[in-house]
Copies of this chain bind each other. A is one copy, B any other.
Amino acid sequence: MGSTSARIAVDAMGGDHAPAEIVAGAIRAQQELGVEVLLVGDRDQISLALKQHTNISPSQVQIIHAEEVVEMGEEPLTALKRKPKASIRVAMDLVKNNQADAVVSAGHSGAAMAAALLRLGRLPGIDRPAIGAVFPTAMLNKSVLILDVGANVDCRPKFLEQFAVMGSIYSQYVLGMSEPKVGLLNIGEEACKGNEQSLKTYQLLEQNSQITFIGNAEGRDVLTGKFDVIVCDGFVGNILLKFAEAVGEIVLQTLKEELSAGWQGKLGATLLKPSLRRFKQRVDHVEHGGGLLLGVAGVCIISHGSSQAPSIKSAIRLAKEAIDHQVLDRIKVWDQNPDPSEVSN
């Protein structure tokens, strides 16, 4: 898996704006990031979407035909059984058969996770995979990885402990934190705070010598930059993720409303355009792509259902980084030997 030839299977049929925006993002990624993209889905629809892009010839893009799609309302396992030719399942099989190095999907996230588990399986030592999302923090150029943000609505303490280890490896090798500081999302700083799950998880994290656990992270601590990795169950994490994304948008909208009041505001707003654009970049989820499904035996990026081309491109970049930094091998090595730096380079 070299850094210049990562092969990314993209579920072209998944997401609110599929296939047009998915195809657009994939083509941009192929042209700008030096990856090889495999568009998985209905050949006719994909071909039609490709016609919008005159700067690329059809021969430069690979299409892998898949005639079925898992719809948003479907129960994942049932849908995957009924639809063996669903695009998400075909994409996973490409990785399983070593025809691709990663999958990117903005479709039904439960179905993507189920397909990954069914077709690729879990990494050794991992009971449940988790979706990790990278949030910006108040510190410039410092982000925080939060997991799980939606794969498991109910978690046992040992699942959260595994999330902490996987998150630390990802933070260290992909996000470049030398000794990632781990926190447990909770309602108070003290070890005695929280529900039954958090009390037990606190103990496990404290005793785990493979991570740097620095204590509970309250809601107010999430974006300070004090923590590099924060673990929580997928119920809380998913609500927090969607809330955070919406807040960014609401703040910008509210600011615009306030700015349009009076000439001072209007003149000020004009002068501030470049600042506001940079600000938007710092808080915008589009820049951060999607979530990495950690713990399955393959690189899988789960993007937002609302993803448009820029998000898809960011998600493909994330997949490329996970491949380049051998994240899966390091998690595998950790299970046998708790020093993930020992992976062969």
Contacts and interface: CB of A to CB of B under 8 A. Distances in A.
A308 to B, nearest CB: 16
A220 B283 CA distance: 15
Interface string A267-279: 1111110111011
A258 B194 CA distance: 37
B258 A243 contact: no
Contact of A245 (B196, B220, B264): B220
A58 interface: no
B271 A246 contact: no
Contacts of A59: none
Interface of A, helix, strand, loop or mixed by DSSP:
helix
A186 B238 CA distance: 9
Contacts of A262: 274-275
A234 B187 contact: yes
A254 B276 CA distance: 10
Copies per complex of this chain: 2
Contacts of A192: 75
Interface residues of A, number: 61
Nearest to A237: B187
A67 to B, nearest CB: 26
Interface in A165-214: 185-187, 190, 192, 194-196, 198
B271 A267 contact: yes
A242 interface: yes
A250 B223 contact: yes
A305 to B, nearest CB: 10
A247 B246 contact: no
Contacts of A222: 243, 246
A2 interface: no
Given A196-B154, A246-B224, A271-B267, A251 B185 contact: no
